[in-house]
Amino acid sequence: MSKYLFITLSSLIIIGSANAQVTHWRGPQGNGIYPDKNLLKEWPAEGPKMIWHFDGLGKGFSSPVFANDRIYLTGAIDDQGFIYVLSMDGKLIAKYPYGKEFIESWPGARSSVTIAGDLLYMESGYGSLFCMNTTDGSVKWKKEFLSDFDGKNITWGYTETVVVDNDILYCTPGGQKNNVLALNRFTGATIWSSTGKQELSAYCTPLLVQLPGRKLLVTMTANSIIGLDAANGKLLWSQPQTNQWSVHANTPVYADGGLLCFSGYGQGGPKLKLSPDGSSITQEWFAKTFDSRMGGAVYVDGYVYGSGDISGKEWQCLDWKTGERKYASTNAAIGAVIYADGMLFGYSQKGELFMAKATPTEFKLAGKAAITLGSDQHWAHPVINNGILYVRHGSALMAFKIK
């Protein structure tokens, strides 16, 4: 069995919607980029100042989501899952139970919530999908992937954070018939169902790509990268993507008509060039050393930054056009990465919080600190909101001033 659980760990996305402001995963465009400016370019020797911390979240690997001047997180106590609602200064406002949460390998809550207006959406490790009211935690509708959509759970549990776009919610039960779904987010009614490649889900939160003539939904299932027409679920193309555990936990990275889809266990991944209408792909290059298991990557000014796993157990920078590796550094342990204001922000699996300038010439740390609070694995992706860097380590959420 794997030493680590390779799960999709969710951080914040805020996108515009015709109906409501929506929070999703990994930045305003789903790419790990945060809009905050005037951030510190160097940290004190002891690291950034922690302005508060909240303990008692239970077990979990999800990241905080911000909406309605509140912070929302998922956590599990024993086999019960809860949504924790905190004030912006870290005080507990409410705690909503949602039922059984994953208690097998690496127990705890996996997915972050997605919020649109006053509605909250979350997916448990056992494939229960909830729509809840943010004000009181009441359940508006609920779906079960296993019984409602012929889904089959995977080794380390469902981990995607559902994607909401306007009135549509996208999710991946991984069933033979209902492989990928689009649901009405207000009622839970099925808008379309795609058989995809009829493979199990693979811990991957999908990515929406808006092209001039079409919107794509791109995700990875057990052995494939797939591109669906987001309007009707039609499978437009697929690309083989395999590793020994069928784990593909990283949301693809999109820039300039290209997609980078990468996985751990020594797999790495291809950069795929989309045709103008998104109906086909060609492979431009393949980076075997860029094999992060679940830490994600960021694209900045023609380069992509992230860490490896087995083939490349370092922090790396790749040229987006050619795939050339510009550097490989062991100045920090491998982990999750996000970006804001010219800087990379990382949280390593050894509990290191760090900052480095996003430049292809070298990986030079501009600050580093040890995360000593919390419990269990250091797997949650960090989040930046209004000049504050938030780090979740199991039972603890910490807020650091970085502006």
pLDDT, tens digit (0-9, with 9 covering 90-100), for 147-182: 999 999 999 999 999 999 999 999 999 999 999 999
Lowest mean pLDDT among 5-14, 37-46, 234-243, 373-382: 5-14
Each residue's pLDDT tens digit, 123-147: 999 999 999 999 999 999 999 999 9
Predicted confidence (pLDDT) at residue 393 exceeds the cutoff of 90? yes
Torsion of CA 205, 210, 216, 218, to 10 degrees: -30
What does residue 339 show for φ and ψ, rounded to 5 degrees? -145, 145
Residue type, 28: P
Each residue's pLDDT tens digit, 214-233: 999 999 999 999 999 999 99
Each residue's pLDDT tens digit, 306-333: 999 999 899 999 999 999 999 999 999 9
Lowest mean pLDDT among 9-23, 84-98, 238-252: 9-23
Decide: helix, strand or coil at residue 146.
helix
Q: Which residues of 354-377 are buried (b: 16+ CB within 10 A; e: fewer)?
A: bbbebbbeebebebbbebebbeeb
Homologous superfamily of 13-401 in CATH?
YVTN repeat-like/Quinoprotein amine dehydrogenase (2.130.10.10)
Helix (H) or strand (E) holding 148: helix 145-148
The pLDDT assigned to 97 comes to: 96
The pLDDT assigned to 30 comes to: 74
The pLDDT assigned to 227 comes to: 98
The pLDDT assigned to 51 comes to: 98
Q: Sort 18 into a burial class: Cβ within 10 Å, 0-12 / 13-18 / 19+.
A: exposed
Residue with tokens 């300038």: 357
Each residue's pLDDT tens digit, 26-58: 767 778 999 999 999 999 999 999 999 999 999
315: closest CA among 325, 328, 303, 326?
328
Mean per-residue pLDDT over the chain, rounded: 94
Q: What is the DSSP letter of 268?
A: B
pLDDT interval class at 25 (50, 70, 90):
confident
The pLDDT assigned to 29 comes to: 76
**More reliable by pLDDT, 214 or 21:** 214
pLDDT interval class at 69 (50, 70, 90):
very high
The pLDDT assigned to 66 comes to: 93
DSSP lists the bridge partners of residue 121 as: 114, 131
pLDDT interval class at 11 (50, 70, 90):
very low
What is the domain partition of the chain in residue ranges?
13-401
The pLDDT assigned to 31 comes to: 86
Distance CA(181)–CA(387), nearest Å, equals 36
The pLDDT assigned to 28 comes to: 72
Predicted confidence (pLDDT) at residue 266 exceeds the cutoff of 80? yes
Q: What's the rounded mean pLDDT across residues 73-86?
A: 97
Q: What's the rounded mean pLDDT across residues 364-382?
A: 97
pTM: 0.94
Task: Kindly state the tokens that stand for 39.
Answer: 């951030």
Question: CA dist 371 to 103, 110, 334, 365, Å?
Answer: 25, 20, 15, 16
Each residue's pLDDT tens digit, 328-344: 999 999 999 999 999 99
Predicted confidence (pLDDT) at residue 20 exceeds the cutoff of 90? no
Predicted confidence (pLDDT) at residue 6 exceeds the cutoff of 90? no
DSSP lists the bridge partners of residue 285 as: 271
For residue 366, the Cα-to-chain-centroid distance in whole angstroms is: 25
Instruction: Say how many CA atoms lie within 13 Å of 381 toward its Cβ.
Output: 38
Distance CA(355)–CA(154), nearest Å, equals 34
For residue 245, the Cα-to-chain-centroid distance in whole angstroms is: 19
Task: Kindly state the tokens that stand for 16.
Answer: 């515009």
Q: What is the DSSP letter of 330?
A: -
